[in-house]
């Protein structure tokens, strides 16, 4: 490998990037937009679930239960329905996310020590929200049921009664359960994939499609020099984006960075090389830019978005997909970045993931160089 | 005019079909996306890796732990003897949750006081952590109620032995009674797939000719700009409609999602939606001169469109500003239409608002594209 020749290709590629300020602006804008969207708009933390109640009893007890719902920040009561049809209508028109039906014999059942049935209606079309909402309702009714039981018990016996179990919930590493604290570290993987793989997947095939590759092949350039020189500028852009993401995370969203930022940078550089290698491999294999784009979306972006554990927990996936996720480099960088950001752990724990990233980097870049043929078809 | 249009369409079909790899890419990515999203986006918690640290080692604590073992939600993998082990396991991502029963748990319980339990959840993934903690609370809550009942019995209460809890919750989820994630994801993914395919194909088809230089050749022929535009887009509209049918069939046969509505209504909705994606594709092709630029511009639109459509992240959770922004997102409407047709069996009577919104947005987009196309391309 000859350094000056690699340098020449590097400079040529820099000129390509510079001459296209539109793409360059997009590449810098994209992480910013993603960060803003995820940081401000996208969360699973549902608060203020709109609640409608059809209270068929209207007793002191049923009012008390409704008050318990209003007392949490999770529900906001939008309407008291006067009939079942009205409740149905409120849900169908999406004015209320959940409808609660309190039976006419609620107090009576309680006084005679029987079980009252409370119905909760949700629109299952959006099953995830429905699931979370039903969980919230359970979170109100379960303690309430226990409270009623204790009251019954107190009415019987003289002694003060405590709840048998006192559960203390501890959320480690992300005490306030902020969505953005786990999304921002994971976003690094997605942004780097978009920037790295999409851009490099075009670099070689573009020259092929435009016909300028012939000129390059007539030079004494070795293929290693050509490909590595082409990767250089994109590596710098990728790392620059990484710095933007880290800075926005720190100053705008106050995501705690508990581990070493140097280690984070070093390991994400490794991931970037792996991603660039994947892009390069695609570029070498594709016949035109459209194909390259489709392939890059399919084999780099989609797995990085879905199978990396960035938003969607890996252990909830079916087993075959869990196994596939081991082949996705983004998975390791998400583990690393969440570990460094939130848990503050270092290489002592993270070395297997780091090793996998290094292996992926060598593998993809090596394969791309091997597959590239310096001749005209 | 029709004859010229036919020729352009013919040329476009040949170009797509001749390219063996592209042919592959017309069919495979939609299916892969469908399968990936259908399986991955799943908030039904099962088999959460759990560790138990039982300092009490009594009948009561074992009884509680048995409850964790016997649900589908948790998989008790480790029994620990020290706090250090716990730290180690959580650092290595081996467990997501740990249940720590304090040493005086049973003693407190027998005295009628509260026995202490700590539930430690790795909240690195805050969303899953929330769901996991809720399930843990349910398990412990059930146990707690049973203990209360037992106390009841010991004190010879009037209702002893009936074992009745004061209230139970009967959840009813309409249209998707078992709340299966796939049922809502698959119709939504169909909408997404249509967007991804039609937008990029249209944008790149025009820009590619620009970049390679063949557009000039077309422009010197008697073909008018409008015919060129129609000829370029109609093939992709047809391909997209075909894709909808294909993906719907896979969704129904493979994922067993119920299809309760009318396929014609779905196709009509797709057409209304395609105005948007094709219009946008053309618009992008007028502002970019290379395929790379078109891709970057496309991504810049696609990413927010997909994230702000309500399929993955509920719109109701967003700040007000973003909630209004989603009103401009055609994908938002198309997802409601598609889910409505699949799950609710909805017809035009219920969906006309979304249909009209999509068509209106789409026509604006197309008009913009036509104006710019005339000026900048032709």
Quick check: B292 and A141 CB within 8 A?
no
Among the partner-chain residues A46, A156, A335, the one whose CB lies closest to the CB of B317 is A46
Sign of torsion over alpha carbons A309, A315, A316, A317: positive
- B198 in a structural domain: yes
- Is B287 among the domain residues? yes
pLDDT tens readout for residues A188-232: 888 888 888 888 888 888 888 888 888 888 888 888 888 888 899
Task: Average the pLDDT over A120-133 and give the result.
Answer: 81
Domain termination residue (choose one: B154, B188, B205): B154
- Hey, of A50, A101, A107, A125, which one would you mutate to test binding to chain B, going by the most B CBs within 10 A of its CB? A125
Q: In this structure, is residue B334 part of a structural domain?
A: yes
B326 and B215 belong to one structural domain:
yes
| Dihedral angle computed from the Cα positions of residues B158, B159, B160 and B165, in that order, rounded to the nearest 10 degrees | -140
Q: Does residue A343 belong to the interface with chain B, where contact is any CB pair within 8 Å?
A: yes
Over residues A265-277, the mean pLDDT reads: 94
Whether residues B344 and B248 fall in one domain: yes
> Class of the A49-156 domain?
alpha beta
Residue corresponding to tokens 């209320």: A96
Q: Do A42 and B313 touch (CB under 8 A)?
A: yes
For chain B, the domain total comes to 2
- Fill in the DSSP letter of residue A281: H
- pLDDT tens digits, A83-123: 888 988 888 777 888 889 998 888 888 887 778 888 888 88
**Which region among A76-90, A170-184, A218-232, B58-72 has the lowest average model confidence (pLDDT)?**
A170-184
- Interface touch A115/B33, C-beta < 8 Å: no
Is ipTM > 0.90 here? Answer: no
Are the Cβ atoms of B314 and A128 closer than 8 angstroms?
yes
DSSP state of B368: H
Q: What is the CATH number of the domain that holds B120?
A: 3.40.1710.10
Residue-wise pLDDT for B251-298, tens only, equals 999 988 999 999 999 999 999 999 999 999 999 988 888 888 888 888
Both tokens assigned to A170:
């501890």
The alpha carbons of chain B give a radius of gyration, in whole angstroms, of 29
DSSP A108-120: HHHHTT--EEEEE
> Which residues from chain A sit within 8 angstroms of residue B196, using beta carbons?
297
Contact criterion met (CB < 8 Å) for B131 and A43: no
B154, B188, B220 - which closes a domain: B154
* Domain match, B102 and B208 both: no
């010229």: which residue's tokens?
A: B4
Inter-chain Cβ pairs, chain A and chain B, closer than 8 A: 382
Task: Tell whether B223 and B367 lie within a shared domain.
Answer: yes
Answer yes or no: is B167 within a domain.
no
Looking at beta carbons, which residues of chain B come within 8 Å of A164?
Answer: 109, 114-115, 143-144, 147-148, 151
CA atoms of A270 and A357, how far apart (whole Å): 6
Provide the pLDDT for residue A161.
Answer: 60
Kindly indicate the confidence band of residue B161, based on its pLDDT and cuts at 50, 70 and 90: very low
In three-state form (DSSP H/G/I as H, E/B as E, the rest C), the secondary structure along B182-196 is: HHHHHHHHHHHHHHH
Beta strands in chain B (DSSP E): 48-54, 74-79, 97-101, 115-122, 167-174
Residues of A in contact with B351 (CB under 8 A): none
Q: Which of B25, B120, B159 sits opposite A170 (nearest CB)?
A: B120
For residues B77 and B108, membership in a common domain is answered with yes
Predicted confidence (pLDDT) per residue in B211-224, tens digit: 888 887 877 888 78
Looking at chain A, the domain(s) classified CATH 3.40.1710.10 span: 49-156
3-class secondary structure, A123: strand
Are residue B262 and residue B352 in the same domain, yes or no? yes
How many Cα atoms occupy the beta-carbon half-sphere of B250 within 13 Å?
18
User: Which residues of chain A have a CB within 8 Å of the CB of B255?
Assistant: none
Model pLDDT for residues B115-152, shown as the tens digit of each residue: 889 998 888 777 778 778 888 888 888 888 788 777 77
Supply the range of the domain harboring residue B357. Answer: 14-41+180-376
pTM of the shown model:
0.82
* Within a domain: B259: yes
Question: What's residue B326's pLDDT?
Answer: 92
Which residues between 9 and 68 in chain A have a beta carbon less than 8 angstroms from any beta carbon of chain B?
20, 22-23, 26-27, 29-30, 33-34, 37-38, 40-47, 49-50
């Amino acid at each position: 490998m000859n350094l000056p020749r690699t340098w020449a290709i590097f400079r040529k590629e820099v000129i390509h990037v510079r001459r296209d300020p539109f793409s360059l602006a997009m590449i810098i804008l994209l992480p910013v937009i993603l960060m803003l969207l995820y940081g401000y708009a996208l969360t699973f933390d549902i608060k203020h679930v709109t609640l409608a109640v059809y209270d068929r009893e209207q007793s002191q007890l049923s009012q008390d239960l409704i008050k318990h719902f209003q007392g949490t920040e999770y529900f906001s009561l939008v309407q008291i329905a006067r009939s079942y049809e009205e409740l149905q209508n409120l849900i169908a028109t999406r004015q209320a996310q959940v409808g609660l039906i309190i039976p006419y014999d609620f107090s009576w059942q309680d006084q005679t020590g029987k079980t009252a049935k409370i119905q909760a209606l949700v629109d299952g079309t959006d099953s995830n929200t429905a699931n979370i909402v039903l969980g919230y309702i359970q979170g109100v009714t379960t303690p309430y049921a226990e409270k009623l039981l204790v009251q019954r018990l107190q009415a019987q016996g003289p002694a003060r009664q405590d709840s048998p179990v006192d559960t203390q919930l501890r959320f480690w590493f992300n005490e306030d359960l902020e969505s953005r604290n786990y999304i921002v570290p994971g976003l690094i993987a997605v942004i780097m994939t978009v920037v790295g793989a999409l851009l490099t997947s075009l670099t070689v095939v573009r020259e092929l499609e435009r016909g300028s590759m012939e000129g390059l092949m007539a030079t004494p350039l070795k293929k290693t020099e050509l490909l590595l020189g082409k990767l250089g500028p994109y590596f710098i852009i990728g790392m620059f984006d990484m710095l933007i993401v880290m800075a926005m995370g720190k100053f705008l969203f106050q995501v705690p960075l508990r581990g070493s930022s140097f280690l984070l940078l070093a390991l994400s550089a490794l991931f970037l090389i792996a991603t660039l290698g994947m892009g390069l491999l695609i570029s070498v294999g594709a016949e035109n830019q459209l194909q390259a784009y489709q392939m890059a979306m399919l084999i780099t972006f989609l797995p990085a978005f879905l199978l990396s554990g960035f938003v969607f927990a890996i252990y909830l996936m079916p087993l075959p997909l869990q196994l596939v996720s081991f082949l996705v480099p983004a998975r390791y960088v998400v583990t690393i970045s969440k570990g460094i950001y939130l848990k503050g752990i270092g290489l002592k724990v993270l070395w297997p993931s780091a090793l996998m990233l290094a292996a992926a980097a060598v593998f993809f870049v090596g394969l791309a160089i091997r597959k590239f043929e310096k001749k005209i078809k | 005019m029709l004859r010229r249009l036919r020729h352009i369409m013919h040329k476009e079909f040949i170009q797509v079909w001749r390219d063996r790899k592209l042919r592959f890419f017309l069919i495979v990515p939609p299916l892969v996306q469908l399968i990936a999203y259908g399986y991955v986006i799943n908030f039904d918690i099962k088999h959460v890796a759990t560790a138990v640290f039982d300092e009490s080692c009594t009948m009561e604590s074992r009884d509680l732990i048995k409850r964790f073992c016997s649900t589908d939600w948790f998989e008790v993998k480790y029994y620990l003897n020290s706090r250090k082990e716990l730290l180690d396991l959580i650092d290595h991502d081996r467990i997501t949750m740990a249940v720590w029963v304090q040493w005086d748990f049973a003693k407190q319980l027998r005295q009628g006081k509260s026995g202490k339990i700590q539930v430690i959840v790795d909240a690195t993934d805050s969303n899953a952590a929330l769901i996991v903690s809720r399930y843990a609370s349910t398990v412990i809550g059930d146990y707690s109620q049973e203990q209360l009942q037992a106390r009841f019995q010991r004190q010879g209460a009037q209702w002893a032995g009936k074992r009745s809890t004061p209230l139970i919750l009967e959840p009813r989820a309409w249209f998707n009674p078992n709340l299966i994630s796939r049922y809502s994801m698959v119709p939504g993914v169909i909408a997404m797939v249509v967007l991804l395919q039609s937008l990029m194909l249209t944008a790149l088809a025009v820009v590619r000719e620009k970049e390679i230089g063949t557009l000039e050749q077309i422009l010197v022929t008697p073909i008018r700009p409008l015919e060129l535009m129609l000829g370029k887009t109609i093939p992709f509209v047809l391909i997209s409609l075909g894709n909808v049918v294909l993906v719907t069939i896979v969704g129904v046969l493979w994922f067993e999602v119920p299809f309760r509505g009318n396929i014609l209504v779905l196709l009509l909705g797709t057409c209304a939606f395609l105005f948007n994606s094709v219009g946008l594709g053309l618009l992008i092709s007028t502002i970019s001169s290379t395929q790379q630029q078109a891709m970057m511009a496309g991504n810049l639109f696609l990413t927010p469109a997909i994230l702000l459509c309500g399929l993955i992240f509920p719109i109701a959770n967003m700040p007000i500003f973003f909630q209004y922004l989603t009103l401009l997102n055609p994908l938002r409407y198309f997802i409601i239409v598609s889910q409505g047709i699949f799950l609710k069996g909805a017809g035009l009577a219920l969906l006309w608002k979304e249909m009209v919104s999509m068509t209106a947005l789409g026509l604006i987009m197309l008009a913009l594209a036509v104006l710019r196309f005339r000026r900048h391309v032709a």
